[in-house]
C-alpha cells in the first residue's frame, strides 16, 4: 500500500471509486479496493425519495441482498461487465454523507445510463454505503431497485452469476444476513 492510499479519507476514497467507474478507468477503481473487499447489491425501493434514502443512511431501513461479490478480483470482473454493458455509465445529482465515525460514506445518485447493446435507457436511483479502512474500500452495500436492472435482461458474466448464487446462500446461512447490507 502506498503512503498516498493510507492517508486518503473515506470520502476521498469513495469519490475516487465513483469517478473511476464513471470514467471506465479499471486501474483507478482497482486502486480504491482492499484485496478482500466485498460488494453487496441490496434491493430497495427506498432510494427513490429523500426520506427513503435518509432511512437507509440512518440504518432505519434495510434492503434485500440480491448479489454478493467477494474480493477485489471478482469486483473488478463485475465492474468490467458494467463497463461493457453501459455507455455512458454515470450518476447524476451526487450527494455524499459521512458517518458519525468517519469510516463510512454514503453516496446517493441517479443513474443516467444507456445499454450498449440496444440503446435502451436505464435510470435507477442508488444509495451506496462505502466502508473504508486504511484508505481502501472494504465493503460496499449498494441499494437500488433490482427489478429495474433485472428488467434489462442482460446476461450475467461469471462474477455476476457467482454473486447471485452467493446471495441465495445468504438467505439460508444462519450466520449471514440477507437484509443488513453488512
60-102 pLDDT, tens digit each: 999 999 999 999 999 999 999 999 999 999 999 999 999 887 7
Answer yes or no: pTM beyond 0.85.
Answer: yes
Instruction: Name the residue range of residue 152's domain.
Output: 3-172
Q: Is residue 179 part of a domain?
A: no
* Nine cell digits for residue 129: 454505503
Q: Is residue 93 part of a domain?
A: yes
As for how many domains the chain has, the answer is 1
The pLDDT value recorded for residue 4 is 44
Q: Is residue 10 part of a domain?
A: yes
Q: Tell the residue number behind the cell numbers 448479489, with chain if given.
A: 67
Looking up residue 165, the CATH number of its domain turns out to be: 3.10.450.50
Which has the closest alpha carbon to 146: 182, 97, 111?
111
Amino acid at each position: 500500500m502506498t503512503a498516498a492510499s493510507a492517508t486518503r479519507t473515506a470520502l476521498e476514497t469513495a469519490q475516487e471509486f465513483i469517478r473511476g467507474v464513471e470514467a471506465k478507468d479499471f486501474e483507478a477503481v482497482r486502486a480504491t479496493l482492499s484485496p478482500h473487499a466485498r460488494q453487496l447489491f441490496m434491493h430497495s425501493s427506498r432510494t427513490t425519495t429523500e426520506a427513503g434514502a435518509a432511512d437507509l443512511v440512518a440504518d432505519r431501513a434495510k434492503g434485500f441482498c440480491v448479489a454478493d461479490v467477494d474480493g477485489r478480483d471478482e469486483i473488478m470482473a463485475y465492474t468490467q461487465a458494467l463497463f461493457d454493458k453501459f455507455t455512458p455509465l454515470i450518476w447524476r445529482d451526487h450527494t455524499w454523507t459521512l458517518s458519525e465515525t468517519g469510516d463510512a460514506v454514503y453516496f446517493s445518485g441517479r443513474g443516467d445510463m444507456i445499454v450498449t447493446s440496444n440503446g435502451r435507457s436505464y435510470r435507477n436511483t442508488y444509495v451506496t454505503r462505502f466502508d473504508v479502512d486504511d484508505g481502501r474500500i472494504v465493503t460496499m452495500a449498494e441499494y437500488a431497485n433490482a427489478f429495474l436492472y433485472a428488467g434489462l435482461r442482460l446476461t450475467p458474466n461469471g462474477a455476476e452469476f457467482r454473486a447471485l448464487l452467493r446471495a441465495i446462500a445468504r438467505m439460508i446461512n444462519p450466520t449471514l444476513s440477507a437484509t443488513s447490507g453488512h
